[in-house]
Chains A and B, each alone.
Chain A
Amino acid sequence: MISKVSRRTILKASAGGVAFAALASPSILRAQGAYPDRPINIVVPFDTGGYNDRLARAFAPFLQEELGQPLTIINRGGAGALLGHTFFLQQPDDGYTILCTSAAPYLPLNVLTQDASFKLEDFYMVNLPSQDYTLMATSAGSDVKSVEDAISRLKADPGSLSVGLQPASADLVNFSILCAANQIDSSAVRVVTYDGGGPARNAVAGGVVDVGFVGGEGFLPLAEQIRPLLTFDSRKRDNWEGAIVTDVLGADADFVVGSQRGWGLHRSMQTSNPEIFKTLVGAIEAASKNPAAIEALKNQQLATDWYGPEESNKMLARTAQVMEQYIELLKGN
């Protein structure tokens, strides 16, 4: 079989293609149009199916409504969100790329432990509606009855209980804070490390490990198979039984919040494209306060609370600060 297509025909076709592409991309020709005049990308630095991906996909229709342009979700998972965060910053700060991520703990972790090429300050958090927390739990059938029970056993013999958690996580920091406050030698505890929150929770529910320290929101589907022991927050969360950390460690207890997830922009946009910056922040605020959005996200167990940029950036900075104190622990030394 010999192809009958001549080189000239191919040249003609490709020239036509180039002309067509030029015509079909008005964004290049009229770059000065009112923002936004083309689709906007949402970068999610995790694979499909995780919390951020679900949040981005559920929220997109409402944000789309505010902006008047379709939103495309780009999943850039890998290396603890380092790849996705780097990719996001590499995109121009023209308002056509926004970020949906677990700002804490991943941004501080990228910076503190992974030699990231960026600083925390390169990101500007518009809103971090999802505020996860560490839950200490055991399996429903376990003989560990309460957090006091667990603490007294670990005090008597640090090797008496195995503890499941993720390395380099807020949960690990909280675990060592609890140990330090109770004079437990955390290096003698049998700590079992898991690659993700899901496997760690499964190990807790199945009684493979005696207790686990894992993000609490993810435990909700497993509620019947676990016994919550301690919530690392100053208030009760998701109606979990058991103690809260301020009861156990005192009102000024030092603990780290879990994942803080939500929407981010390039901080440089504030000066380079201030008008677009304002439009985007306003659109995210309006969509977050849209009753239909709140209803839809609540049904999928996703958060929409509006904290605003000032509060969100402050919360992230505070988390980063506490994490920096535990940098050696997070680095695995």
Chain B
Amino acid sequence: MIELNSVSGAFTLLSSDINAWLYLLPGLAIGLVFGAMPGISITMAMAFALPATLYMEFLPAIVFLTAIYTGAGFGGSVPAVLMGIPGTSSAVATTFDGYPMARKGQHSEALGIALASSVIGCLASYVMLFVLIVPISGVVLKLGPLEMFAVAVWGMLLLGSLAGTQMSRGLLAGTFGVLLGTVGMNTAGFVRGTIGIPWLLDGVPQIPAMMGLLAASQLIGLINTTYLIEDEGSRNISFAKILGGVRQAFRYPTIIFRGSLIGVIIGAIPGVGSSISNLLSYSETKRNAADGDTFGQGNPKGVIAAEAANSSSEGGAMATMLALGIPGGGATAILLAAFAMHNIVGGPSFIAHNKDIVYAVIFSNFAQAVLLFFVGLGFVYVAGYVVRVPLRFLIPSVLVVSTFGAYAIEGSSAGPITLWVFSVLGWAMVRYGYPVAAAVVGLLLGSLLEGNLLRTNQISGGDFIGYGLERPWALVIFALMLGSILLQVISKRRRVKQAALAAAQTG
């Protein structure tokens, strides 16, 4: 799979052009800052930088943009950990355990864990890309609606983990989220639930809605608290603790590996990407962990799972873009536009004729991942000071920034309106004991679930089982899913038995 000629060609390319290296650092920094601002998505950060790349050579331009991609991918996790607000939709699962860790005063550790998992996930994804770019691209296009539906259902299993103590309320909240996700024009051209508002035709604006649900439930709940962290002694930000978090991440290589694998595969599927992969990885890790019950209360494994998956999705999306010339999401669409600006068309012929450039992009991403570690350390250290800001300043500031972000991402007041409506909704859900996160998951998965179920129906002419038998990959996904659930049941039973045994021995 690896062609040594091209590899050495890539090294020549990279070593001959100092410019390709000069843009790494500013790219990462821009990405981190933009990604950390709630509402500014990875795509927007890249679109913002796109005009500047017109005046660069091809390779530096792509390196600059992918550095922003990498930086923004991690940037989104910083507010997710510190304030429970995902900076981008790919950091939703990071809030589940990262934010509880921060509230317990383990913000330094959580940020260190997130950073290390992101860096390793990113590295791992590019290693896989390096080896697997051709086979991945061969499979991706063959995935049909049934396979996508299976992935969405897998994501929905997460509801079980988010439900907390009352399963019925979790399912209800999740169903509500799915219903919200189906608002607008569906894939067959039918319009539902827009109550006559034209901008709802494209569905509920996901990112403002998600920020509203999560932000309000977190921030309004804090109204009577003075600081994010109650204990004054834990409020300092310590380099040693961040590094401690980094070491902690290395203790769970299987979680990182599983996360990266899920991230690469899901990231490679056009139209799915990192906002789903982090949820899948989180739910798989929780299901397989011995201490699964403590997930959601600040278990570092949850942060590792989410972060490894969302940053490795970048490699998967890049594989699809490079190998097929197809953008999997907004970020790769911008990259393709940058390709076009330099008169290069992505796709199979691009890979075949420009292997050296492809490998150069991959190698520069190795360097980005390593650099991200150091830039990220500094960034995280500074950002950590948020915990020292009194909440009476922090909460209004965050709400104002979120409002601006919601406006920026929609380009009209549809963003802020959605944010506020969903803030009230989020607050009400928390007030009456419904898990907000379940609604967010439903909202993110709703249209994927519905659109692909509908297409499966269309393509099979109603004969689901007959069609399913013709789709081996869908069967594989369903089998894996069932296996994973079964495994959980077995291991849980074993644990209960062991606990009972231990209790009997001591008692």
Contact = CB atoms under 8 A, between A and B. Distances in A.
B343 A300 contact: yes
Interface in A216-232: 220-222, 224-225
Interface in A32-82: 48-49, 54, 57, 74-80, 82
B348 interface: yes
A332 B189 contact: yes
B396 to A, nearest CB: 13
Interface string B315-342: 0000000001111001001101100110
Contact of B347 (A86, A195, A222, A299): A222
B141 A225 contact: yes
A129 interface: no
Contact of A167 (B188, B199, B270, B325): B188
Given A78-B202, A332-B189, A199 B141 contact: no
Nearest to B348: A224
Interface string B395-439: 000000000000000011000000000000000000000000000
Interface residues of A, number: 43
A308 interface: no
A168 B201 CA distance: 14
Interface string A192-213: 1111001100110111110000
Nearest to B142: A206
B202 A221 contact: no
Contacts of B330: 48-49
B466 interface: no
Contacts of A194: 187, 455
B187 A195 contact: yes
Given A168-B189, A301-B340, A78 B199 contact: yes
B412 to A, nearest CB: 8
A112 interface: no
A54 B188 contact: no
A281 interface: no
A268 interface: no
B144 interface: yes
B56 interface: no
A190 B458 contact: yes
B451 A206 contact: no
B340 A203 contact: no
Interface residues of B, number: 47
Contacts of B412: 76, 83
B337 A49 contact: yes
B326 A202 contact: yes
Interface string B131-158: 0000000001111110000000000000
Contact of A300 (B141, B270, B341, B348): B341
Given A79-B201, A199-B270, A203-B144, A193 B458 contact: yes
B343 A221 contact: no
B9 interface: no
A250 to B, nearest CB: 30
A320 B141 CA distance: 34
A162 interface: yes
A210 to B, nearest CB: 9
A194 B349 CA distance: 26
A77 B347 CA distance: 27
Interface of A: 1, 48-49, 54, 57, 74-80, 82-83, 86, 159, 162, 167-168, 190-195, 198-199, 202-203, 205-209, 220-222, 224-225, 299-301, 332
The 7 A-B pairs at the shortest CB distance, nearest first, are namely A206-B141, A167-B189, A79-B201, A49-B333, A208-B144, A221-B325, A332-B189
